[in-house]
Amino acid sequence: MKNKALFLDRDGVINEVAVAGEYVISREAFRLRLSSIPLIRFARAAGYLVVVVTNQRGVSLGKMTQADLDDVHAYMRKLLAAEEADVDAIYSCVHGLDDGCDCRKPKAGMLLQAAHDLDIDLSESVMVGNHETDIAAGKAAGCKICLLIK
């Protein structure tokens, strides 16, 4: 039997969005959205894997390194784990807008890769995001979708 997953965008869903034109480039800039905790706990209790899928163009722009991004994600995992809201995997697209990759949302590449890696049934999974690109990626992958409006 395949797994079902709750796919979550990071910025605006798990953490507060940086000021326009800025990026969350360090753990000091990361601000956990407390509203994400019950959502993750509920999904895990219902038997869903929790998978973060996030566009992180700041790496391609030179605003941060891959090591910086990895550190932010380690810090995010630590904060969530302390709240018993673990995530199973994180997929990041670090490409620029014009790089032509298949992973940058609104494309479904990160979700499709996670489905392959984690044996996920996308038709039984949900994509939650706060931008139309998140919703488009979820639709393209064949997931149910939920747009968060702040």
Q: What is the pLDDT of residues 89-148, one digit of tens each?
A: 999 999 999 999 999 999 999 999 999 999 999 999 999 999 999 999 999 999 999 999
> Which are the contacts of 88, defined by CB distance < 8 A and separation ≥ 6?
5, 49, 50, 51, 118
Q: Which helix (H) or strand (E) holds 77?
A: helix 66-82
pLDDT the model gives residue 20: 80
Sheet holding 89-93, edge to edge: 89-93, 48-55, 4-8, 126-129, 144-147
pTM to 2 decimal places: 0.96
CA distance 12 to 30: 11
CA distance 41 to 47: 10
Q: Which domains does the chain have, with CATH numbers?
A: 4-124+133-147 (3.40.50.1000)
Distances (CA, A) of 31 to 10, 25, 36, 39, 56: 11, 12, 12, 17, 16
Indicate if 99 belongs to the active site: no
Indicate if 70 belongs to the active site: no
CA distance 76 to 79: 5
pLDDT, mean of residues 28-55: 97
**Annotated active-site residue in 11, 71, 88, 102:** 11
